[in-house]
A = this chain, B = another copy of it.
Amino acid sequence: MAKKLGRSTYLFEKRPVILSSAAVGGEKERNGPLGKGFDFLDIDDTFGEKSWEQAENRMQQLAMKTALQKAHVKRNDLDLIFAGDLLNQCTGSSYGLKELGVPYLGLYGACSTMAEGLLMAGVYIDAGLAGKAAVSASSHFCSAERQYRFPLEYGSQRPPTSQWTATASAAVILGKKEDLPLDETVWVELVHASAGIIQDPLIRDANNMGAAMAPAAAALFMRYFRESSTAPQDYDRIFTGDLGQIGSELLYSLLARQNIRIGDRHNDCGLLLFDREHQDVHAGGSGAGCCGSVLSAYILPELRAGRLSNVLFLATGALFSPTMVQQGLSIPGIAHLVHLRRCERKEENGC
């Protein structure tokens, strides 16, 4: 049974295992540095649908079906799905996954959804309450822009602090070590997870999400290192998603005040997914599909290949709505994290 190390930091005893993952994306994601890691990339971002919202539904469905196939898991063998997205009432998830017939626990964590879902799936699997569980999250640049900002047809200018919502969906299938094929010698397991506290740095600019989310990330890192009795040096890479350039710099300065330095081993998913020099994404990528697709297209493959072995994956979310910003309120941020570890069958001890 998982051990409670602090207020909301857990050490998984049975080490839930990532059985597979899948990422689907659009044209901009294809042209980004991680394009080759995606399982499917659409040529016109419509995914064959008539509206951007329905395209997002289709993306979640496609990512989940692909992840199930890759793990050789039938949908009837899945005990739970944890899913969420940025669309009003999280319809990317509910419409995208409704045909599966799997017990469904809907989440709202904005861009932190993938980490929130991994934490939850880990808890249920570790407690023996789910055999296999899935996590799913998505975002679509076009459905997000018209919902959060302006219709694309306006062609509004974006300030340098703004981030580019990824057109991406990712699904992850989790289970127990016994669910791995016998000839599988390498896998990735969940070691720790930690649920974050909402922080409100009083940012009122809906085009500066990085600044709104950085304090939540900093607060969670500080608490997590303390509660897990670990330090940045215990991880060979620390990923955030999706602070972008401005949020990442703010994170460094907030952590530096507590003498915590992660800059030498930190990457932000929003800065990995796109090439800021050649793709017009301003402060970087964002969206609930961004860090999930980077996890599937880059972080998990790097872990399996042995180029990484201990990774922190902290996802941030801005828990606001356009209505709240229009009414002059500030934008609260949240963060959740999981610690992922590479395991090899030959060195069973510790794994």
Residues on A lying within 8 angstroms of B by beta carbon are 1-4, 7-8, 10, 50-51, 53-54, 79-80, 84, 86-91, 93-95, 97-98, 101-110, 116, 119-120, 123-124, 126-130, 195-198, 200, 319-324, 327, 329, 332, 334, 336
Q: Are A97 and B198 in contact (CB under 8 A)?
A: yes
Q: Which residues of chain B come closer than 8 Å to A196, judged between CB atoms?
A: 103-104
Question: Are B94 and A332 neighbours in the complex by a CB distance under 8 Å?
Answer: yes
Contact of A334 among B104, B197, B319 (CB under 8 A): B104
Chain B residue with the shortest CB-CB distance to A109 = B106
Q: Name the residue on B nearest A6 (C-beta).
A: B79
Which residues from B are CB-within-8-Å of A128?
1-4
Partner of A197, one of B91, B101, B129: B101
**Residue contact A332 to B108, C-beta cutoff 8 Å:** no
Besides the known contacts A105-B107, A106-B116, 15 further A-B residue pairs in the complex with CB atoms under 8 A apart: A4-B128, A4-B130, A7-B79, A54-B327, A84-B108, A86-B89, A87-B323, A88-B88, A89-B108, A101-B197, A104-B198, A106-B319, A108-B108, A123-B124, A126-B127
Closest to A86 in B: B89
CB distance from A135 to the nearest CB of B (A): 13
Q: Are A102 and B197 in contact (CB under 8 A)?
A: yes
Residue of B nearest to A223 (CB): B103
Q: How far is the CA of A327 from the CA of B51 in the complex (A)?
A: 8
* Shortest CB distance A37–B (Å): 28
Number of copies: 2
Could you name 28 residue pairs across A and B whose Cβ atoms are closer than 8 Å? A1-B127, A2-B127, A8-B80, A8-B103, A50-B327, A53-B323, A53-B324, A54-B329, A88-B323, A89-B324, A90-B319, A91-B320, A91-B321, A94-B320, A94-B334, A95-B319, A95-B324, A95-B329, A95-B332, A98-B332, A103-B196, A104-B196, A104-B198, A105-B109, A105-B195, A106-B109, A123-B127, A127-B127
Please name the 8 residue pairs, one residue from A and one from B, whose CB atoms are nearest each other, closest first.
Answer: A94-B319, A8-B103, A89-B321, A106-B108, A108-B108, A98-B198, A103-B195, A127-B127
Complex alpha-carbon distance, A4 and B321, angstroms = 37
Partner of A91, one of B84, B120, B319: B319
Partner of A89, one of B116, B123, B195, B319: B319
CA distance A1 to B2 in the complex (A): 11
A329–B58 CA distance with the chains assembled, in angstroms: 13
**Chain B's nearest CB lies how many Å from the CB of A232?**
21
Q: How far is the CB of A338 from chain B (nearest CB, A)?
A: 13
Q: Which one of B3, B88, B129, B320 contacts A4 once the chains associate, using CB atoms below 8 Å?
A: B129
Q: Report B-chain residues with C-beta under 8 Å of the C-beta of A324.
A: 53, 89, 91, 95
Contacts of A2 in B (CB 8 A): 127-129
Q: How far is the CA of A3 from the CA of B127 in the complex (A)?
A: 9
Residues of B contacting A8 with CB < 8 Å?
79-80, 103, 130
